[in-house]
Structure 1
Amino acid sequence: MNEQLVLRVLGMDCAACEQRLAYAVRRVEGVRYAVADHGTGVLEVHLMPGTDREAVAARVVEAGFTVTGVETR
């Protein structure tokens, strides 16, 4: 069963930011799906069980954004 993370992200100002962030996060091993919405400041990530959640957050920071909150669903 997949796990879902919802990250609150600062710094997404446009559709290009959404695409850049989602692409960067999809490159983390174990990420099955990622979509960002600059209007809400939310990044939704679907993970395979056992995926390193810290690696996902680190990739967001590496891409130039700030994580302000994380929720697991």
Structure 2
Amino acid sequence: MRPSLDNKLVVAISSRALFNFLSGLDNSPILERFKPHIFFDDQRTHCERACGIVPTGHVPYGVDRKVI
């Protein structure tokens, strides 16, 4: 039997929107809670914090960087 959601507020948010909302804050607590299979980011500091929690890949270009 599935639990009833009648009296509970259910909020869905994409991980992308969540990390945009954090805007540079430490995302380690969220990664620990979500337990993603892998994490990618364009900022080295975010990758350095995340690599002890989840397999992490650094993307060497991002929103602020132009691809030549």
- Measured against the shorter chain, the TM-score band is under 0.3
Q: Which has the higher contact order (CA 8 A, sep 6+)?
A: 1
User: What is the TM-score of this pair, normalised by structure 2?
Assistant: 0.28
Higher strand share: 1
Query: In terms of Rg, which structure is larger?
Result: 2
User: What is the TM-score of this pair, normalised by structure 1?
Assistant: 0.27
